[in-house]
């Protein structure tokens, strides 16, 4: 894989992660039990959609085929998305959503911190902006996981179950493939091995404070980075793309 | 599931211009840290501030509206407490 292909693939992955997670959070808009958390969730979702736009706009330029951010977001098929499997998992209950966000954002924040210093200027600029947003998200969501884990008997049990259920999707974040390796070597990109060590430290500290047990690493699901998704992504994309598919080019 | 309401907090925001904190409104939160987050997400979404204070509404000691006559009216007829009897020297635009 050459340098340019890896850069394009890497930018798309970042965009796909941001878009699909943002869309998951959009599903929860108007579903929160508290107005303030409702606002926070919608803000966070918009942060992700905004990040997706920046990564997609850049990916479109790199590709050079005239596709813009909307084309990339709304006119690709399921197997063309390269987001992590963790991200597309259903929202479940509040504890599931929070656990998913903490597990992902503890990784994403480290990834962005590394990308700020990478050799590609545009990726570094977008990362610098996204990093501030995600730092706050992680802070907020971490506090929630601690509250739930160290809360009532029921919230503790449900938070533990959420972490246990999602654990098998965490391995994919650190499983470097060709795109990761070429990006790391050619653009001074993130070292996933080192990020994994930092991630484990962060997550272990949060789980400990939340009085939750850290699951054992066992079989890990993977495939999202290569376009092989769980059954959940297709439904999401169908809903997300409905308008553009039914009324191509619709705008207001 | 309990439906207990979270306590109310008052939110004070200092805007960029270096003024003092001003009351922005109130939010509900389960604890102090959450109150700061909620204040941030509710009242500074459009860059309204650079500093936030939150305080439990129950911790505010407020004057009693029923006593407002005794509290405030005595000051109303004491105009000599206003610095309005000075002659402003010529050329001074703001005082």
Across the range B18-35, mean pLDDT stands at 92
Closest Cα of chain B to A86: distance in Å?
A: 26
Residues in chain A with pLDDT values less than 70? none
Give A178 or B1, the one with higher predicted confidence. A178
Rounded to the nearest angstrom, the minimum Cα separation between B13 and chain A is 17
Which tokens is A78 given?
A: 């399921």
Both tokens of A205, joined, read: 């500290």
Q: Would you call B30 an interface residue with chain A, using a CB distance cutoff of 8 Å?
A: yes
Residue A229 is encoded by which pair of tokens? 């998704």
Give the distance from CA A181 to its chain's centroid: 19
CA–CA separation, A211 vs A200, rounded Å? Answer: 16
Per-residue confidence at B12, pLDDT binned at 50, 70, 90?
A: very high
Residues forming a β-bridge with B9: B27, B56
**Are residues B26 and B9 in contact, defined by beta-carbon separation less than 8 angstroms?**
yes
Give strand pairing partners of B12. B23, B53
Chain A residues with beta carbon closer than 8 angstroms to that of B28: 34-36
B contacts of A50 (beta carbons < 8 Å): none
Give pLDDT tens digits for A197-212: 999 999 999 999 999 9
Nearest to residue A192, comparing CAs of A174, A208, A207?
A: A174
Handedness of CA A161, A167, A169, A173 (dihedral sign): positive
Contact B41/A40, CB-based, under 8 Å? yes
Angle at A11 between CA A8 and CA A17, to 5 degrees: 135
pLDDT tops 70 at residue B2:
no
Q: A36, B33: Cβ pair inside 8 Å?
A: no
The Cα–Cα gap between B11 and B25 comes to: 5
H helices within chain A, ranges in order?
3-26, 35-63, 69-74, 85-88, 94-115, 121-149, 153-166, 171-174, 178-187, 192-209, 231-246
- Report pLDDT for A221: 94
Which position has the higher pLDDT, B88 or A212?
A: A212
Lowest mean pLDDT among A159-163, A179-183, B6-10, B91-95: B91-95
Contact present, A115 and A189 (Cβ < 8 Å) = yes
Q: How many CA atoms lie within 13 A of A18 on its CB side?
A: 30
Assess B28–A contact: CB distance below 8 Å, yes or no: yes
Q: How far apart are CA B58 and CA B82, in angstroms?
A: 34
- Return the biggest CA–CA distance within chain B: 71
B49 CB-side CA count, 13 A: 20
Give dist(CA A234, CA B26) in Å, integer. Answer: 41
Domain topology for A3-246: Ferritin (1.20.1260)
Cβ within 8 Å, pair A34-B28: yes
Query: Of A94, A86, A105, A92, which is closest to residue A38 (Cα–Cα)?
Result: A94
Is the torsion defined by CA of A55, A61, A65, A70 positive or negative? positive
The C-alpha of A237 sits at a distance from chain B's nearest C-alpha, in angstroms, of 28
Q: How far apart are the first and last CA of chain B?
A: 60
**Per-domain residue ranges for chain A?**
3-246
Residue A105 DSSP code: H
Q: Mind listing the pLDDT tens digit for each residue in A32-45?
A: 888 999 999 999 99
- Nearest by CB to B41, from A39, A143, A147: name it: A39
| φ, ψ dihedrals at B85, nearest 5° | -105, 10
Cβ–Cβ of A36/B28 closer than 8 Å?
yes
Q: Return the closest-CA partner of residue A172 out of A245, A233, A227, A112.
A: A227
pLDDT at position B73 is 85
Give me the residue from B28, B29, B41 closest to A43, CB to CB: B41
- Residue B25 DSSP label: E
Name the band, by pLDDT with cuts 50, 70 and 90, for residue B4. confident
- What tokens does B47 get? 């860059």
């Amino acid at each position: 894989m050459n340098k340019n292909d890896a850069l394009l693939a890497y930018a798309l992955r970042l965009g796909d992660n941001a878009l699909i997670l943002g869309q998951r959070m959009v599903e929860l808009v108007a579903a929160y039990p508290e107005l303030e958390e409702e606002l926070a969730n919608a803000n966070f979702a918009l942060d992700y959609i905004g990040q997706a736009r920046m990564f997609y706009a850049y990916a479109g330029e790199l590709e050079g085929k005239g596709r813009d951010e909307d084309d990339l977001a709304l006119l690709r098929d399921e197997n063309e998305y390269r987001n992590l499997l963790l991200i597309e998992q259903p929202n479940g209950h509040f504890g599931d959503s929070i656990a998913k966000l903490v597990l992902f954002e503890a990784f994403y924040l480290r990834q962005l911190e590394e990308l700020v210093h990478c050799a590609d200027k545009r990726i570094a600029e977008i990362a610098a902006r996204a990093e501030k947003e995600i730092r706050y998200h992680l802070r907020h969501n971490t506090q929630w996981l601690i509250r739930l884990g160290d809360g009532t008997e029921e919230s503790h049990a449900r938070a533990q179950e959420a972490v246990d259920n999602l654990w098998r999707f965490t391995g994919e974040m650190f499983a470097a493939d060709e795109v990761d390796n070429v990006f790391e070597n050619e653009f001074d990109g993130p070292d996933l091995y080192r990020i994994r060590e930092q991630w484990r430290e962060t997550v272990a500290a949060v789980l400990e404070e939340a009085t939750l047990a850290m699951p054992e690493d066992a079989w890990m699901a993977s495939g999202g980075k290569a376009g092989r998704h769980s059954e959940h992504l297709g439904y999401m994309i169908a809903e997300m793309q409905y308008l553009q598919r039914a009324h191509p080019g619709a705008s207001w | 599931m309990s439906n207990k309401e979270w306590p109310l907090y008052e939110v004070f925001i200092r805007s960029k211009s270096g003024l003092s904190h001003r009351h922005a409104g109130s939010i509900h939160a389960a604890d102090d840290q959450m109150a700061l987050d909620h204040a941030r997400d509710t009242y500074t979404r459009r860059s309204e501030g650079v500093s936030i204070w939150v305080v439990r509404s129950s911790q505010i000691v407020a004057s009693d509206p029923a006593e407002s006559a005794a509290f405030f009216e005595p000051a109303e007829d004491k105009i000599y407490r206003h610095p309005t009897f000075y002659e402003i020297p010529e050329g001074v635009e703001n005082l």
